[in-house]
Every structure is written in C-alpha cells, then in structure tokens.
Amino acid sequence: MGWFLILHSLLLFSLFLFPSSLCNTHYANEIFQAAKQEKDWLVSIRRQIHENPELKFEEYNTSALIRSELDKLGVSYSYPFAQTGIVAEIGTGFPPVVALRADMDALPLKELVEWEHKSKVDGKMHGCGHDAHTTMLLGAAKLLSQRKHKLQGTVRLLFQPGEEGGGGASHMIKQGALGVAEAIFGMHVDFTSPTGTIRSKSGPLLAAVSSFEAKIIGRGGHAAEPHQNIDPIIAVSFSILALQQLVSRELDPLSSSISHLC
C-alpha cells in the first residue's frame, strides 16, 4: 500500500519541481518501479513504528527513528518543531518550494488484532494510519534524495506531531515550519479505496473537526409531579434533534458535514 502512495506524492509535485521534459509516462513509470524496489524497507519502517506507538507530543522514539533514516539518506533537517516535529529539505534551497506533510502520533486504544507486528505498548496503537503516513514520507525522502540533482526547486518534508486533537500542524506553522512553501500536499490512507488507487480533488477533500461540551442541569422531583421538575433528559433530547437540523437545514447540501454527539 505505502509505495503506491509514495508514487502519488512524487507525481503530484513533479510538475512543480522537475523539468517539464521529465513529467511524462516514462518518468512516472521509472518512479513507480523505484518505489516498488523499496517495498521491504518500507514495510520494515512501518512495522517498527506500528509496534511502538506514541501519543500526541510524545513521539520521541518515532522522531528519533525518522531522523536516523534521514541521516542515512544524507537529508538535512531541523529539529524540534512542536516538541517532536521534524522539517527536512531536499533540492536547491530556492523556490519553488513544495511541502509534503505526514503525521506521526498514535491513539490511546488497545490493539486487539493478533499479528506479528501488533502494538507492544498496552493501551496505545496506530489505529488511524499515521505509521503508514510517516513511512510514505520517508519513502518520498529516499526517492527524492536519489534524484535531487534533477530538482528545480525545494521539497520540504514536514513530520508532524500531535494530529490527534493536539493541533500539531498549527504549532509547527507558528514556529515557521511551513516557511515560504507555495503548495503543500497531505494524504490519508482509506480502507474504502482499493489498494493502489488514489482519490483527489481540487481544494479541501477531508473535513476538519470542531468540538464542544455542554452541560444541562435539571431539577429532580417525583414522577407524579413533572410540572415541579426540570427534566434534563427532555432538554438533551430536543438539543440533539435540533443540532442534527443544523446539517440538514443550515449547511450547503453539497458540503460534507456530520453532527455527532456522545
């Protein structure tokens, strides 16, 4: 799975960074074959990360693994951003600058699936694919570093901590990680897409998350005297129904939105 998406990343920004003469079917096939040759290395990296999950802003070992691999590739980087984040650069050091981003953190969940690379940390697992995302970006770094003499610009690689509710991207941007990038590409694995396929569109593709907390306070009493009580269950029920109507009546039906309460 990972090497197909590495190919996608490279092809997306090759239009910005490589000579137009290279952006053809022959060159795309060359990158594809090169990515396939790295399969064993990619699988090894991904499984190391999957077996040793770390929560938001605790990705110290994951970050160390990434930096070790970048050192082997001879790719320069700056560290830390937002505690554990890394910004690497490949290319001329001059515009155009295109950024690629991957998240690193895991989730506070117990992995119940039994396989050889199951999480070794009880109560933590990579359940959202960030182990794959990080591996893909390392793969892109390897293929790019092998072709850096062909680049007509700079690729900035952003390894981001704290995606799961930590606002890690915002922290990195505030610390200057994005720099003067003219474009940035992110990606996410999706089990509904067949392996080897890519879904993309102009503009935003995935929704952001906004959350809130509300407290409804009632007043107890006897069931035979409901007029003397303040029933919070009724109030909560009406609130849930009203919030669902925000999606169906207040938002553009062509926009993807979900209202979920728990």
Asked if 31 and 68 sit in the same domain, the reply is yes
Asked if 163 and 220 sit in the same domain, the reply is no
Mean pLDDT of 211-215: 89
Residue 38 Cα to chain centre, angstroms: 21
Is the pLDDT score of 54 beyond 80? yes
d(CA 109, CA 118): 12
Tens of pLDDT, residue by residue over 233-254, are 999 999 999 988 888 888 888 8
CB 70 within 8 A of CB 105: no
CB 42 within 8 A of CB 173: no
Nearest to 127 by CA among 79, 164, 76, 174: 164
pLDDT of residue 16: 47
pLDDT of residue 21: 52
Residue 79 structural domain: 2-185
Considering only residues 192 and 54, tell me which one the structure prediction assigns the higher pLDDT. 54
N-to-C CA span, the chain: 33
Total structural domains in the chain? 2
Tens of pLDDT, residue by residue over 110-168, are 999 998 999 999 999 999 999 999 999 999 999 999 999 989 899 999 999 999 999 99
Considering only residues 187 and 105, tell me which one the structure prediction assigns the higher pLDDT. 105
Confidence band, pLDDT 50/70/90 cuts, at residue 219? very high
Asked if 154 and 254 sit in the same domain, the reply is no
Domain-located, residue 198? no
- What is the pTM (predicted TM-score) of this model? 0.84
Asked if 117 and 240 sit in the same domain, the reply is no
Asked if 171 and 242 sit in the same domain, the reply is no
The residues, ordered by sequence, that sit 6+ positions from 119 with a Cβ below 8 Å of its Cβ are 50, 51, 52, 53, 106, 111, 125, 126
Instruction: Match 């991957």 to its residue by tokens.
Output: 102
Domain-located, residue 194? no
CB count in 10 Å sphere of residue 242: 9
